[in-house]
Amino acid sequence: MPLFQICKKLDKVYICNDNEESNVGRDGALKTAVLLENEGIPVRIVILPRPEEVNKVDIAEYMKTHTVDDFKHLQDMSVGLWEFKLSLVKIQSNASALDRIKALQKFITVDLEGMSQGEWEVFVNNEVAAKFKLKKKDILATISEASKDRIILKNKGNDDGSIDGNNNITFDLDSVSGRNAIYRAFADEYIAKNKVKCINGKLRKYKDGIYPESDEAIDFIKT
């Protein structure tokens, strides 16, 4: 039985992999956390303390010299998937503002993939902004650009949501797969803010909105 099915009924899953110099355990914990989060299962990542002179620490070794209460304390200190990803970002102290902006845009587009629009905007405006040390106006501008990039990345290689050379996206809503494609693209980024009433025909996305390819009417209703 797949891991996510085993964990489906759990309110929260703690992941405690080996802490080793090679970071194999860390990478495995990250992969497992992404898998479970994608299935809607909240995860927390427990990090075992590892002395500098030790190459590897696993849970069995840790419990030889620690109590259950010690481990519970580590659980209390655990972090969620997104905070864990943020902790892995390394920014040099002498990095320029431009370098920080590029790194932030990549972090939002790549590392926060799968996080909903509302959640990642709050996260970026608080914990992420504190780490990247950018001005508020730069944060807001990067959020705007990253939102567009996330939509484009979701649709690249999707036959039901094609992209032309100008990053315009066309969705064929005559098919179920086409309607599913637009839902995947805009459920978090657009439909959360605007409900589009359209069943058949095609929609075309331009930089400033979504429009009918034909003459059929589309209503935009603010939620």
Two tokens, residue 57: 């620490």
122 lies in the same domain as 167: no
Using the structure block, give the residue that is written with the tokens 């009417």: 217
Decide which of 155, 179, 208 is a domain's last residue. Answer: 155
| Sign (positive or negative) of CA dihedral 173, 153, 26, 132 | negative
Predicted pLDDT of residue 197: 44
The larger pLDDT score, comparing residue 16 to residue 2, is at 16
7 and 80 in a single domain? The answer is yes
Do 179 and 142 lie in one domain? The reply is: no
Could you give the CA distance from residue 125 to residue 222 in angstroms, rounded to a whole number?
Answer: 24
Res 68 pLDDT > 70 = yes
Residue 63 has pLDDT above 90, yes or no: yes
For residue 172, the 8-state DSSP code is: E
Global pTM value: 0.66
The pLDDT of residue 138 is 92
Here the tokens at position 19 are 């802490």
Spatial distance between the Cα atoms of 87 and 15, rounded to a whole number of angstroms: 16
Which pLDDT tens digit goes with each residue over 171-185? 555 655 555 565 555
- Give the Cα separation of 145 and 136 in Å (integer): 14
pLDDT exceeds cutoff 80 at 162 = no
Asked if residue 179 and residue 203 are part of one domain, the reply reads yes
pLDDT tens digit sequence for 17-61: 999 999 999 999 999 999 898 888 899 999 999 998 999 999 999
151 and 165 both lie in a single domain: no
Query: pLDDT tens, 99-131?
Result: 999 999 889 988 998 887 778 889 999 999 999
Indicate the average pLDDT of the chain.
78
> What pLDDT does 222 receive?
36
pLDDT at residue number 205 = 53
69/103 same-domain check: no
β-sheet bridge partners, residue 161: 171
Q: Largest Cα–Cα distance in the chain?
A: 73
pLDDT at residue 4 above 90?
no
Domain boundary among 128, 155, 182: 155
Q: How many domains in the chain?
A: 3
76 and 40 within one domain: yes
Residue 2 structure tokens: 């797949």
Q: What single letter denotes the amino acid at residue 113?
A: E
pLDDT band at 220 (very low <50, low <70, confident <90, very high): very low
Host domain of residue 168 = 161-222
- Name beta bridge partners: 103: none
Q: Do 45 and 13 contact (CB within 8 A), yes or no? A: no
The phi, psi pair for 213, rounded to 5°, reads: -75, -30
Residues 160, 163, 164, 169, CA torsion sign: positive
